Amino acid sequence: MSNIESWDWESKEKMLADTAEWKDRFEDVWEPYISSDGEKIASIIKIGEGEFNICVNGNTWEEPFEKMWYSRFSPDGRLTALISKDAEWTMAVDGVALEETYEYIWDTKFSADGKTIVAIVKQDGVYGMLVNGKVWECPVKLESIASHAISPDGNTVAAIAQTVPLGQADLDGFLKGTWSVVVNGKPWNDNFVGIYGLAISNDGKKVAAEYRAAICEYGIVVNGNPWIEKFGCTWEPVFHPDKSDEIIVPVRQAGQWFLAKNGRIVWDKGFFSLLYQTYSPDGNNIAVAVAPQFGKWTVAVNGQPWSVTFGECVQKPCFSPDGRKVAVIAKDSGKWLLVVDGAVLGEGYDNIWQPVFSPDGDKVICKVEKNGKYAVAVNGEIRGKNYEALWNPVISPDGTRAMICGVESGRYYRKVVSLSNI
């Protein structure tokens, strides 16, 4: 989150927009998005046949467009949208469309500081990455881009791309390898049968991905160099937060899933399923979602599963800032549950969003949904009002306050509350 210190942590409550009134002003109002600091709320609006605009805190951009979609705020508060004019597509940032236009543009992403904005573009049948308004130069004509990733500092942009054209029903050609990873416009030397699960280390120096070597043979490739070890299946690799030479990845061997670090299995215990490996902020602990048996899910921390299991699923675990506690959203008997260190907190909900810990780890805060209304829950219990729309609460850098942004009776409020009061 960029510049979180400079956000307004003082104003207790600000009513920033009356979104109900937008519905009278415009033909159609789409779902709203807010800036990370909560100061702006924006919706794409339809003003007429083939005429769209965007409404930010009640004001529209100067110029309407033929089509608009995918409005997203960058972490530094700029509002982007993908727009079309004269039947060509491009990106508009804070109301200004880029000069260059494309056949198509999609999948906008931002660096953590918001300084770098990227999206995938297609022009004349060639795919490329648009990085801060410029399409990267790539020596190879890219046939497709499946997905992309950006380093926290924005200096490394990597994409899973089809680097070799493939004829219809060309099985041999496919198995020779048509996919690779392109980093800042430079493709890796080798092509692979398939590439999945792209990851970039926090320092931006290393790019890792799963690769498929043959029909049932998978491995991990880092900066173009494949691990020697191959597995029956893998899932996406994850870098250590500080050490870019340490990668953990779920691997499948003899019908069981294990966690492997740099190619070696770390825990001797295998699971029916293993997903979402997560490092603690200091990188000393690892939590993963596991199914010790079919249909029974839990979290294993450093290889040790919790004793409680859940019948439907668990999602990605998350560590407290000090790395001592682990929270996860689990589903059992049709209800979503917040679970911390193996204990269910509060009741079940219709939906729970990814939780955040207070700095001391005592409180877990999250957005929950119940009977079509949204609320903030602290340690699993709903505190305060219901909202028609709500965003994930954000905790202040000093750990004393939380920002809660939500819509009540059509009005958008940004509130700052003391953590000790909620």
Shortest distance, CB of residue 5 to another protein, whole angstroms? 28
Interface with another protein includes 122 (CB under 8 A)?
Answer: yes
Residue 312: is it exposed, middle or buried by C-beta count within 10 angstroms (0-12/13-18/19+)? middle
Say which DSSP state 406 is in.
E
For another protein, the closer of residues 89 and 419 by Cβ is 89
Question: Segment contacting another protein (CB under 8 A): 7-15, 131-139, 243-251, 289-297?
Answer: 289-297
Q: How big is the chain, counted in residues? A: 422
**CA separation, residue 61 to residues 19, 79, 95, 111, 290 (Å):** 16, 11, 5, 24, 48
Contact call for residue 180 and another protein (CB under 8 A): no
State the Cα–Cα distance between residues 65 and 3, nearest whole angstrom. Answer: 31
Q: Give the whole-angstrom CA distance, residue 266 versus residue 250.
A: 10
Q: What is the CA radius of gyration of the chain?
A: 23
- DSSP assignments along 261-295, one per residue: ETTEE-SS--BSEEEEEEE-TTSS-EEEEEEEETT
Using CB under 8 A as the criterion, what x/- string covers residues 300-329 for binding another protein? Answer: -----------xxx-x--------------
Pattern 60-99, another protein, x by CB under 8 A:
-------x-xx-----------------------------
Query: Pick from 199, 188, 319: which is nearest to 248 by CA?
Result: 199
Closest CA to 10 of 396, 412, 405, 413: 396
Is residue 273 at the binding interface for another protein, with CB under 8 A as the rule? Answer: yes
Q: Which of residues 87, 99, 268, 294 is near another protein by CB under 8 A? A: 294
Binding residue (CB under 8 A) for another protein from 2, 51, 85, 104: 104
Instruction: Determine if 3 is a binding residue for another protein (CB under 8 A).
Output: no
Instruction: Please report whether residue 25 would count as binding another protein according to CB under 8 A.
Output: no
Residues that bind another protein in the complex, under the rule CB under 8 A: 28, 30-31, 67, 69-70, 103-104, 106-107, 120, 122, 144-147, 162, 168-171, 174, 178-179, 193-194, 196, 212, 215-216, 218, 232-233, 252, 254-255, 272-273, 291, 293-295, 297, 311-313, 315, 331, 350-351, 353, 369
